[in-house]
Amino acid sequence: MLDSALELVRLQENGDLTAVEIAEKALASVRDTQDSINAFTHVAAEQAIEAARRVDAKRAAGEPLGILAGVPVAVKDVLCTNDMPTTCSSRMLKDFRPPYDATVVSKLREADAVIIGKTNMDEFAMGASTETSAFGLTRNPWDTNRTPGGSSGGAAACVAAGSVPLSLGTDTGGSIRQPAAFCGITGMKPTYGRVSRYGLVAFASSLDQVGPMAWSVPDVALLLEAIAGFEPRDSTSLNQFVPKYTDVLQSSDLRGLRIGVLSETAETAGIDPAIMDVVNEAAKVFQSQGAEIVEVNLPHSKYWVPTYYVIAPCEASSNLSRYDGAHYGHRTDSIDMHSPDGPLVSAYCRSREEGFGSEVKRRIMVGTYALSEGYTDKYYNQALKVRRLIKGDFDAAFSQVDLLLGPVTPSTAFPLGDKIDDPLQMYLCDLFTVGANLAGLPAISLPGGSDSSGLPIGIQLQAPALEESRLLFAANAFQTATDHHQKRPSH
């Protein structure tokens, strides 16, 4: 029952369920799955029931209700919430309670959503497996010995586990789309600036984007409709009209639509053949609905990952410099009063050493090195030039086609512990996703099939900037012709 937000809205409108009953079911599901999945860092049971009561009271009084009235939603623990902790799954912020809500959280409340809690993630959103969390790893509901992906692993797992129909994730290099693919759900990264970053704890400011996760495209469209829009307090927010995204899902006729398939993808080293089989099968589905499949080339795609892993750590190094144990965040109890650098520097160093995990430290060090004197031009500025070339590749491709089709990940969900000690292998999980972040484009991950073990495989569609409606239209057409998004883990 908890796998369709639109159905929950309909059931309430018909008087078949109350918001309180729905919230109680969601909280019961969280309790049942938390020990085995560990999707949440904080469960806001009292606040959720109280929010649900307010929805029921408004409905009884005949007052207007928001589009998410009574629908349980989970929020990634990197988005500020003034009534519950925001930890970024880090010891550095384990006791942090923000004095304000992120814009997307305020929009959820305005839409009368019921926020169930905060979801587990890789520390400061740095990772691809949700194994770097200070609150313990999250497990994939399809196979609890495997990763749910990352960094929005908790946000994907709580939907796949049937606890909530909707969740908010963030995507810096694929952190919505990769866990969505691993957990067999639908996840969307909107155009950079389409959804405000105000109140999102920054990892890489020019790449981060908040986005919706759900089982189906209609639910993703509904959540995007609720959270998109201009925020004057956010200098990167786009002041553009927000369409009613659910209205674009009425047809599955794709005649006239040109979908590009990347010619170089099949030759990519290390890609599981089952992934390419699913992508090729998806192309046939789109063809059967009237779309034209065109082979396209993105000449600089081989530079996506190296470019991303210069720019993102540089921005992380700058953004995370504020966590020093003095202003806020973890403060050490063991200051060396006799340190040759003095007690203040000792406090800074020890607070950061104790507060940050190894992956966060690794990226801070890489970024600091690439920004250091004598190396900025060699690494960071060079990466920015390549980023412009990558954006140019996408512009050229979208002059020929309307959408791009390809894989989300090189493999299905890998076993927990498999890559945690091999950072380079972990970084290659982002092989097919970071391009959209570098170019600021919208992209969506859809369940496209499964491998021989029954693990979900995702397909990815990418569109030009601000063409979320086109993306959702084609994605929904795919889901009307297939049933992959209707499959559930057996737990």
pLDDT digits (tens, 9 = 90+) for 92-101: 999 899 999 9
Of 29, 76, 106, 129, the catalytic one is 76
Q: Residue 55 above 70 pLDDT?
A: yes
The SS3 of residue 462 is strand
Residue with more model confidence, 327 or 45: 45
Q: Which residues pair with 146 in a beta bridge?
A: 415
- Active site includes 106? no
CA separation for the pair 58, 143 (Å, rounded): 41
Average pLDDT rounded to a whole number, residues 217-246: 97
Give the HSE-up count for residue 211: Cα atoms under 13 Å, Cβ half-sphere. 36
Q: What percent of the chain has pLDDT over 70?
A: 100
Q: What percent of the chain has pLDDT over 90?
A: 91
Q: Which of 151, 167, 346, 411 is catalytic?
A: 151
265-318 pLDDT, tens digit per residue, is 877 878 999 999 999 999 999 999 999 999 999 999 999 999 999 999 999 999
Residue pLDDT, tens place only, 11-52: 999 999 999 999 999 999 999 999 999 999 999 999 999 999
Mean pLDDT of 182-194: 98
Burial class (CB in 10 A: 0-12, 13-18, 19+), 64: exposed
- pTM value? 0.96
Mean pLDDT of the chain: 96
Judged against a pLDDT cut of 90, whether residue 490 lies above it is answered with no
**pLDDT in the model for residue 398:** 98
Distance (Å, whole) CA 93 – CA 65: 35
- Residue 491: the pLDDT is 64
Does the annotation mark 490 as catalytic?
A: no
Residue type, 42: H
Band of pLDDT at residue 1, cut at 50, 70 and 90: low
76 is catalytic: yes
Question: Would you state the pLDDT for residue 36?
Answer: 97
How many other CB atoms sit within 10 Å of the CB of residue 386?
Answer: 17
Q: What does the pLDDT read at residue 95?
A: 86
Q: Which residues pair with 459 in a beta bridge?
A: 407, 446
Sign of CA dihedral 3, 84, 137, 410: positive
Q: Mean pLDDT, to the nearest integer, of 114-134?
A: 97
Q: Which residue in the list 133, 152, 175, 351 is annotated as catalytic?
A: 175
Q: What residue has token string 């950061």? A: 352
Residue 338: per-residue pLDDT? 83
Place 472 in a pLDDT band, splitting at 50, 70 and 90. Answer: very high
263 has a pLDDT exceeding 90:
no
Find all residues with CB under 8 Å of 132, minimum gap 6, and list them.
89, 122, 123, 126, 150, 357, 358, 359, 360, 420
Task: Please write the tens of the pLDDT for every residue from 355-370.
Answer: 999 999 999 999 999 9
| pLDDT for the residue 258 | 98
Residue, of 487 and 251, whose pLDDT is higher: 487
| Residue of higher predicted confidence among 325 and 387 | 387
CB 224 within 8 Å of CB 475 = no
Contact in structure between 94 and 123 (CB atoms under 8 Å): no
